[in-house]
Amino acid sequence: MQPTLVLEGVWRSFRQGQREIEVLRGADAALWPGQAVALVGPSGAGKSTLLHITGLLESPTSGRVIVNGRDCATLTEAQRTRMRRTEIGFIYQFHQLLPEFSALENVVIPQMIMGRKRRAAERRALELLGGLGLAERAHHRPAELSGGEQQRTAICRGLANAPKLLLADEPTGNLDPHTSEVVFQELIYLIRNQGVAALIATHNMDLARRMDRVLQMHDGRLIEVQAHALR
């Protein structure tokens, strides 16, 4: 079995006036199918930059990003876009659902963009929504859903095209503690049940401790830490 994601010596620097700011300084990591990996570190440490590069939304200054065995540096922009749609799923802190469409339609649309027929897309969407207890809410628009229901819909959307890699940026950060716990448990279940490799940025150390592994951003690098060492 090969890793779903490999980061090799990833550097990312930005020019700010006369200064060169190095956000990532040789980050290395590997994620395997079915693993939920926490990404922790203080604000400004580079977590979001790392997620953007891993999700092919930015290119590294140097280093390699390998997704499902493919070196993304060799891809054309069209191929990168297709990989983002087919191989990579995204979940954000703020759900970013399309407000004029129902929960069902929000999960159907990404599939239809990739060419899936509407009926098949609806079957997949209903399967995902039903698995998270949203079958009876499928035809409600986001404004008619609770915060937890909106975020669970966003999780279904992120998994709609059966990605190999799931990237989540504070997926429970905007929820109350009880709802956060429910959403977290459901997300972990889906990751393991569908064999997705997931990198989940979080400031919630309690949730981080319960994932399979923890990667900490430190001085632009990734350091694997033991859960019990988290503060």
Say what the pTM is: 0.88
Q: Among 162, 196, 215, give the residue marking a domain's end.
A: 162
Structure-block tokens of residue 28: 């290395």
DSSP 182-206: HHHHHHHHHHHHHT-EEEEE-S-HH
Same domain, yes or no, for 68 and 40? yes
Which tens digit of pLDDT belongs to each residue from 213-226?
999 998 889 998 87
Q: Measured between alpha carbons, how far is 74 from 79 in angstroms, rounded to an integer? A: 9
Same domain, yes or no, for 14 and 82? yes
User: Number of C-alpha atoms within 13 angstroms, CB side, residue 133?
Assistant: 12
CA distances from 162 to 63, 77, 100, 158, 214 (A): 27, 21, 24, 8, 24
Same domain, yes or no, for 155 and 183? no
Which tens digit of pLDDT belongs to each residue from 142-170?
999 988 889 889 989 988 998 999 999 88
Which domain, by its residues, includes 130?
94-162
State yes or no: pLDDT of 229 exceeds 80.
Answer: no
